[in-house]
Each structure stands twice: as C-alpha cells, then as structure tokens.
Amino acid sequence: MLTTIRKRWLPALLAALMLVPPVLAQDRRTEQAIKHRRAAFTLMATYVNRLVQTADGQRPFDARLTTADARAVALLSQLPWEGFIEGSERGDTRAREDIWLDDDKFKTYAGDLQRQSLTLVTVTEAGDLKRFKSTLVEMRNTCSACHKAYRKD
C-alpha cells in the first residue's frame, strides 16, 4: 500500500515541489529584507533612547560610555537600507509603498542620519555636552522627517 502511494504520488509530489521554490524563495527574500531593516531600526532606537536619556540628565554624560552608544548608532545607521529591496513594499511593513525604491529624498535622509551620527561620535568623544545635545536634536529631526514622509503611522 505504502509502496503504491510512493510509486504513484512521489513523482507528482517532486514535480510540484520543483515548481514551488522560485516563488517561495522570493517571498522569503522579501520577508528577510523587511525583518532585517526593522531589526536594525529597533536596535538603533534603543541606542538613540539611551542618548536621549543622557541628554535629559537621566544617565551620566560619560565621554567613554556615551561615545560607545553613539558609535552603535553610527554603525546601525548603515544597516537598514539594504533591506529596502524591490518587492518589499508589501508584507509585514509600515514603509509606504513603492516610493523609496528610487527616491533621492529618502537617500538624502539616510545620508543625513549617517553623517549626523558620525558628528555625534566626534563631539561626544571630545566631551562636548552642548554640541552633543544639539547634534542629537538634529539627528532626531532627521528620524522624524523621514518617518513623516515614508512610514505609515
């Protein structure tokens, strides 16, 4: 009985499996891309929140420790963008559809964020609390501006 099933259905099953993978692989690729960028943003927000607490005086401004947080943001700010691949406008995402795919303004915001996060590292390393605070404000304005334009609330 089992042998009959194997003989009869196995070839059909194998044939079906061979048809499915390209579609599944594509789905998995976009799913992974969305997960990748969301994870990067989530981690980035964790470190930005720490910096905000530091600016608000809830954490000590310590050149060494605060610089480590700023460095984490600078590194993480390089990571979300590779997750914005074609096709990933659909799925488990709050990104607005289509518009980022070839959008100069989106890339400008991403570039601003990277530049500002590097400035943040420099001024924090120098122990400059005043510039630390002002750069953090600028950087967070970039987060908000990009979200307003490209993220659904």
Question: Using CB under 6 A as the criterion, which residues of the chain lie in contact with ligand HEC when the complex forms?
Answer: 34, 37-38, 41-42, 44-45, 48, 93-95, 106, 109-110, 113, 139, 142-143, 146-147, 150-151
Nearest approach in angstroms of CB 114 to ligand HEC is 9
With residue 2 as reference, give the H or E element that holds it: helix 2-19
5/122 with CB nearer ligand HEC: 122
Tokens in use for 7? 């003989």
Closest CB 69 distance from ligand HEC, rounded Å: 12
CB of 2 to ligand HEC, least distance (A): 46
- Torsion angle (degrees, nearest 10) of CA 90, 93, 98, 101: -110
In whole angstroms, the minimum distance from the beta carbon of 107 to ligand HEC comes to 8
To 10 degrees, the CA torsion angle through 73, 121, 133, 47? 20
By three-state DSSP, how is residue 89 classified? Answer: coil
Partners of 94 in the beta sheet?
none
